[in-house]
Structure 1
């Protein structure tokens, strides 16, 4: 709202008028007006007083006016001038005041703005102060938390350090440059240096050169592969003690994944190492003892079996024949008991193996029945054997192991039966795909087994506690070994028994039906010039008599030196070589004969009573085959026919052992030959191709499962690989995979990594051998 201008006074208006019109003009007008006023006043006054007007009244009035008017005019002019000046001064003051007021308004507005800005700044400063206080509080809390965490970390670090120092294990860590970056107290004791002294040193500056090279090599392996390794090595402490450590080395990384170096953890396993060495020594001593006993016992046993068998072929009275038969059966019994002891040792060393061969079930039954019949007759028992058709004529099985299982069961049946009979029944069930489930049923009418004892009879060294059983003694290992053998053959053994009525054992074994013709049981070669190397006269007599009866010519050497001299002088068709000779081993003799080229065309067959070793061990030491003592006529015929009969049928069903010794340890030649004969080369090749395509994936899954320490998955995939390898005849791959799948093995974790590496190598190498064998068979056709 605008202010109304102030009302001006008459004096100001007069002053303004004087100022506008000028002083002179206003003075003249003023004089005239004054004169007129004077004249008029004089006239009025005279008229009131005298009633008449005189001239001198007007003259006096004019003179008086003219005299007083200048002074009045001067006064008035000065007054107006002063008034005008005052007005101008006032106006200037007013203008100045107005300007001051305007400035004051501006200043007031600016002051208001400044006050608002100041208030805003104060508010901002207040807010900033609050934020600063909040930040300070957060900082204080963070400092307090950090301090607490540092204290906690310090306590944890101290605790961790105390734990590491208190650990009985050797612990140290090294950086990327291979220098020590820290260790625990055991490492200080071992090196004789404190942690501060060790930091910055390399293994070459701490260990002796040989140990340093070994340590650096394993460190480099960890850093190159970014994978952990385990190694065992001897470490000598600063005080001279020598300890055996199992070292575990792993790479370690920071939170960003940057590798900082490696950690090493060492467990002192000196006691375990010494215990293992003691166990190994004890095992070797036991094996050596059994090997010695094997030779010493089988030497007289060989004479008893051989001479009694030969004596039975002579003209004897019925009573004499019965006596000789009893001697023969007793010797066979002793031999089978000793086989149980040998197999027990093999079970302890995980070396019990199967040797699959073509077995004629009817001939097999007749052979074992003839011996059991003698034992039963000696006790006045009746023995019956029966084959329930349809039963395959020939199957692929380990006849020796099956015979040993049945012998134990039948011998026990005779031993625990006082009256009545013992029977052996064989039947089979077709499983398809060329497989048959063969059942061997052994029944007796003996004392029986109490129900509560049945679950224990297959335990090692266990014998049934029953009054009626006390008349029969034994080792208590036969049934345990039988169960192990049947399990190894993929079968099972069952038992039913009623005390006082008898017992029935049922052995079921899945076998491959064989379509290959059996090798002829009759000897197909005669007139061989044979060098028999044997140092026991009784064994010489038995072996010479058997060989000469088979139409062969025999020279005898009683020691290794004579054998080498005779081989140098005469070219023999065959050398039968005893392994344990008085002056050297049979392996030494074979080595000399091979080195001198004396047996390029002469097979060497080992004669041995030591059944501890596997057949492959003999083949790998220069032998072409093995005949175990006591020497059996059937085994001699079998070996001679294999080595010397060049017949199409024989070649078709079996390849000479000397040529295929290596292949037999790698491939299942009998299975492969059967597959080729049954489904043809192309189908076999197709199956092998499918295996080759799937195997990388199988191995990758196996490796991943092993890396993740998933034991069940490792065993499951190993089982799958085992089955796949078995279907294409990769025997060695199948065997290694079988080791891996045995997750309950006590040293499984210690060996599984080595087994997997061995499996990987075997797959690569054996596939080439398999391809070569298939190609060779295709060319032969």
Structure 2
């Protein structure tokens, strides 16, 4: 409710009072007050005038008051009403003015707020404009930088593409669906398709099915493991060339880590593969050379050992016996040195293996000592042998290898000892789990080894650099081979030495105690009818004398065909068959004897100086056993007893027939088809023949390259196919020897194809070069004759 202000006028307050009190009430009150006032005034006037107060005076005052009071009251009421209305209107006006003022204040405040907001917005817009200008400038700078970066990226992309295309490596990438998404120039040359043509194709659309399936399988492994994989593949170029690639495939991802596909890198390793093949071929040639040398050296060695051994059993004077014993010991020494060479080759090829047999340590030691004692006696030295008990009676050991180890060490002891003695002692620990550690100690009173050289003596080809060692020469491989053989036997070899006092070697070998019965040391069978097939008279004399001395009957054949003829005519208990014969190999003879059922109950034992091959290789080629040259009586006794005195173990016979290589006869008629060439010259003319020969000369390098690459890839079918092509081309120009060799190569079903194909290819290459020159000379001679 509105509160009256203390500053309001009295009229306003009266008007407000009248309004609050009510007009009717106020009128009655006014009349009463006026009446009282009139009565009072009349009374006062009468009294003051000294007149007496009469009732009429009051009545008149009352009447006058009642007559005048309503009009006065009406007048004042209207006046008050008008005043109140005016006040009300004024109040409303004031209120309206107040409201207008408040509105004006509000509007003013809102206007000020709007102005401030507007100023703020203006500032913001100004700031935003400045920021936009800055952004525009930054954008312009970024656009300039981006343009520069894009230009640089384009240059780098062009450079990278140039590098990739110039790379000799094969590069391509494929998406998740296995389709090509890009490649380099080498990939285009390989597939014969441009990058645009290659994109979208699968491996099956580009490569041979077998190769494509192999790559897809490898790719699947990469996708499953998200790891790279490397494998070697032979790939064929669109022009038919085959190259050997080392392929590496890796998954590649985008910046967010999402895999996009596979990236493949392939490095051409054809030259390396050919080098490896050449190295393997060289190793094979080395092995073949050693095998040949083995045969050639062991042939005279066989005679020396055999005859000197037989001479020692005859009546000789003491001096003659010593001479023969020296010859015998020297031959044995030479044979052991040669064994070192053979074992060195086997070690290089990781072919050295152990052949465990039951051996009596006591008999073994005495046998070895008897030979070393001859060498020691020749230098005036004493050999002292001691066998310390308890010693296992029999052990499982490779006697040949053990003999070779001890022989090398004992031989060195004798060689480097000028006076005094050499001793050999054997001892063993008690068996644990059936294994006893046997210790061999070789000690001498020789020149000794300097401390600085001790750690080097087991190195290959190492020889002690000391004046006291210069008088005794050697190869430096004996101790190295001994160390490797001891390691192969899971043993240990130690050495200690003092200069001018001597050297001590200690060999410890864990050997299994044997419960098998010892093979008889004496021959248990005699009067065997034996066919000895040997082409060297000295070997025949030694072997025949030894066999007859052992109580056997011997028939001799000097060639393979003679042996076959004798087997057809006679029945033998045993055939001793040399492998290298003048007309055919021993394997060929064995094949014929088996195919004709001439040896159904007759064992065939190979006689060979080739100790490169394993025993199993002879067994697989139709032999029942093998005896190495020079022939040893102990080995003959062992084999004869095994075959005839004891049940022979059945052997699986895998007969492989070998075909002789064509002779590389240098006569013109053997290398050229003279009749065909003469007919061609007479028919089409010498010029056309020369043109045909020129085409053959131009094509042969490509043919030979593909042939050798296919051979390096071990692809028999491709080798045979290419050889067939060369055979046809050679036949058309009269190169009969080239044609024959190519014909051999194309016969992939040959039982010994893999064993001979490398030799045939090498022979073919030499024949092409040689025979082309011969053909040119023959054509030139035809022109001169005309």
Alignment TM class, shorter chain as reference: 0.5 to 0.7
Q: CA 1:368 to 1:186, structure 2 compared with 1: closer, same or farther past 3 Å?
A: same
Aligned-pair distance for 1:432? Answer: 2.4
Instruction: Identify the residue that residue 513 of structure 2 maps to in structure 1.
Output: 513
Q: Could you state the TM-score of these two structures normalised by the residue count of structure 1? A: 0.67
Contact 2:294 2:610 in 1 (8 A): yes
The verdict on how the C-alpha distance between 1:385 and 1:13 changes in structure 2, with shifts beyond 3 A counting, is closer
SS at match of 2:522: coil
Kindly report which structure 2 residues correspond to 1:58-73, keeping only aligned pairs within 5 A, or say none.
none
Three-state SS of the structure 2 residue aligned to 1:486 is: helix
Q: Does 1:546 align with 2:533?
A: no
Q: Which residue of 2 aligns with 1:619?
A: 619
TM-aligned CA distance change 1:367 to 1:4, over 3 Å: same
The structure-2 alpha-carbon separation of the partners of 1:88 and 1:384, relative to structure 1 and needing over 3 Å to count, comes to same
Task: Specify the alignment match of 1:656 in structure 2.
Answer: 649
**Are 1:20 and 2:18 counterparts?**
no
- Matching residue of 1:729: none
Following TM superposition, by how much is the alpha carbon of 1:609 offset from its aligned partner in structure 2, in angstroms?
0.8
Residue 618 of structure 1: CA displacement? 2.5
**Matched position secondary structure for 1:622:** coil
Change (3 A) 1:276 1:39: closer
Picking from 80, 86, 107, the partner of 2:82 is 86
Q: 1:18 touches 1:26 (CA, 8 Å); kept in 2? A: no
Higher mean alpha-carbon deviation, 210-219 vs 543-552, is at 210-219
Paired with 2:24 and 2:30, the residues of 1 have a C-alpha distance of 13
User: Which residue does the alignment assign to 1:715?
Assistant: none
**Number of residue-to-residue matches in the alignment:** 634
For residues 264-275 of structure 1, what are the structure 2 equivalents within 5 Å? 264-275=264-275
Q: State the Cα distance separating 1:165 from its structure 2 match.
A: 6.9
Please name the residue that 1:291 is paired with: 291
CA displacement 1:106-139 (0-9 Å, x = unmatched)? 979998999999999999999x99xx99x999x9
Separation in 1, partners of 2:161, 2:75: 113
Counterpart Cα distance in 1 of 2:546 and 2:21: 180
CA shift in 2, pair 1:423/1:98, >3 Å:
same
Alignment of 1:244-393 (within 5 A): 244-251=244-251, 260-393=260-393
Residue 407 of structure 1 deviates from its aligned partner by 1.1
Q: Deviations over 1:702-724 (max 9, x none)?
A: xxxxxxxxxxxxxxxxxxxxxxx
Please report how far the alpha carbon of residue 611 of structure 1 lies from its aligned counterpart in structure 2 after TM superposition: 0.7
Counterparts of residues 149-228 of structure 1 (less than 5 Å): 169-183=169-183, 187=187, 198-206=198-206, 212=212, 215-216=215-216, 218-219=218-219, 222=222, 228=228
In structure 2, the CA distance between the partners of 1:435 and 1:22, relative to structure 1 (3 Å rule), is: closer
Q: Evaluate the alpha carbon distance shift between residue 27 and residue 208 of structure 1 in structure 2; reply closer, same or farther with a 3 A threshold.
A: closer
Query: 1:633 aligns to what?
Result: 633
Query: Equivalent residue for 2:605?
Result: 605
Aligned-partner SS, 1:249: strand
* Kept in 2: contact 1:233–1:246 (CA 8 A): yes
Alpha-carbon separation, structure 1, partners of 2:409 and 2:33: 176
Matched with 2:783 is none
Provide the rounded CA distance (Å) in 2 between the counterparts of 1:403 and 1:15: 153
Q: What secondary structure is seen at the aligned counterpart in 1 of 2:636?
A: helix
Q: In structure 2, do the counterparts of structure 1 residues 224 and 12 end up closer, same or farther at CA, with 3 Å as the change threshold?
A: closer
Deviation at 1:233, TM superposition (A): 3.0
The normalised TM-score by structure 2 is 0.66
- CA deviation after TM superposition for structure 1 residue 339, in Å: 0.4
Q: Conserved in 2, the CA contact under 8 Å of 1:625 and 1:657? A: no
CA distance in 1 between partners of 2:473 and 2:307 (Å): 28
Shift of 1:145: 12
Q: Is the 2:591–2:622 contact (alpha carbons within 8 Å) kept by the matching residues of 1?
A: yes
1:734-757 Cα shifts (integer Å, max 9, x gaps): xxxxxxxxxxxxxxxxxxxxxxxx
State the partner residue of 2:784.
Answer: none
CA 1:167–1:490: 2 relative to 1, 3 Å: farther
- Name the CA shift for 1:73/1:361 in 2 (closer, same or farther; >3 Å): closer
Question: For 2:523 and 2:115, how far apart are their aligned partners in 1?
Answer: 127
Q: Which runs of 5 or more structure 1 residues have no equivalent in the other structure?
A: 53-57, 648-654, 662-781
1:45-56 aligned within 5 A: none
Deviations along 1:670-707, one digit per CA (max 9) or x if unpaired, are xxxxxxxxxxxxxxxxxxxxxxxxxxxxxxxxxxxxxx
Equivalent residue for 2:397?
397
Q: Evaluate the alpha carbon distance shift between residue 124 and residue 170 of structure 1 in structure 2; reply closer, same or farther with a 3 A threshold.
A: farther
Report the Cα offset of residue 363 of structure 1: 0.7
Q: 1:74 to 1:170 in 2, by over 3 A?
A: same
Match of 1:751 in 2: none
**Residues 219-238 of structure 1: matches in 2 within 5 Å?**
219=219, 222=222, 228-235=228-235
Residues 438 and 156 of structure 1: is their aligned pair in 2 closer, same or farther, counting only changes over 3 Å? farther
Which residue of structure 2 lines up, in the alignment, with residue 451 of structure 1? 451
The change in CA–CA distance for 1:641 and 1:27 in structure 2 (over 3 A counts) is closer
Is the CA contact (8 Å cut-off) linking 1:231 and 1:246 kept in structure 2? yes
What are the within-5 Å matches in structure 2 for residues 550-699 of structure 1? 550-568=550-568, 570-646=570-646, 656=649, 658=651
CA distance in 1, matches of 2:16, 2:451: 152
- Secondary structure of 1:305's aligned partner: helix
| Deviation for aligned residue 1:220 | 5.2
**Partners of 1:16 and 1:84 within 8 A in 2:** no
Inter-CA distance 31–330: structure 2 relative to 1 (3 Å threshold):
closer
Contact residue 30 and residue 73 of structure 1 kept, 8 A: no
**Structure 1: how far apart are the matches of 2:395 and 2:83?**
152
Describe the SS at the equivalent of 2:430.
strand
Report SS of the residue matched to 1:335: helix
**Cα deviation 1:429-466 (Å, max 9, x = unaligned):** 33622222222222223333333333332222222233
CA 1:164/1:33 → structure 2, altered by over 3 Å: closer, same or farther?
A: same
**Matched residue, 1:749:** none
Render the CA deviation track for 1:39-86: whole Å, top value 9, x for unaligned: 9999999x99xx99xxxxx9xxx9xx99xx99x999968855753652
Rounded to whole Å, the distance in 1 between the matches of 2:26 and 2:229 is 127
Q: Give the drift of 1:480.
A: 1.6
Partner of 1:678: none
Q: Contact 1:625–1:658 (CA<8 Å) still a contact in 2?
A: no
> How far is the alpha carbon of 1:560 from its aligned partner?
3.2
Distance 1:28 1:306, change over 3 A: closer
- Residues 261 and 558 of structure 1: is their aligned pair in 2 closer, same or farther, counting only changes over 3 Å? farther
Mapped to 1, the partners of 2:623 and 2:225 lie a distance apart of 44
Report the CA distance between 1:502 and its aligned residue: 2.6
Aligned partners of 2:19, 2:498: CA distance in 1, in Å?
162
1-structure distance, mates of 2:446, 2:19: 169
Q: Which runs of 5+ in 2 are unaligned?
A: 655-786
- Cα offsets for 1:505-540 (capped at 9, x unmatched): 222222122233312212223343433332223223
Counterpart of 2:439?
Answer: 439
In structure 2, the partner of 1:469 is 469
2-side partners of 1:423 and 1:122: how far apart? 120
Change (3 A) 1:12 1:501: closer
Q: CA deviation at 1:369?
A: 1.2
1:245 and 1:268 in contact (8 A); partners too: yes
- Specify whether residues 151 and 38 from structure 1 end up closer, same or farther in structure 2 by C-alpha distance, changes over 3 A only: same
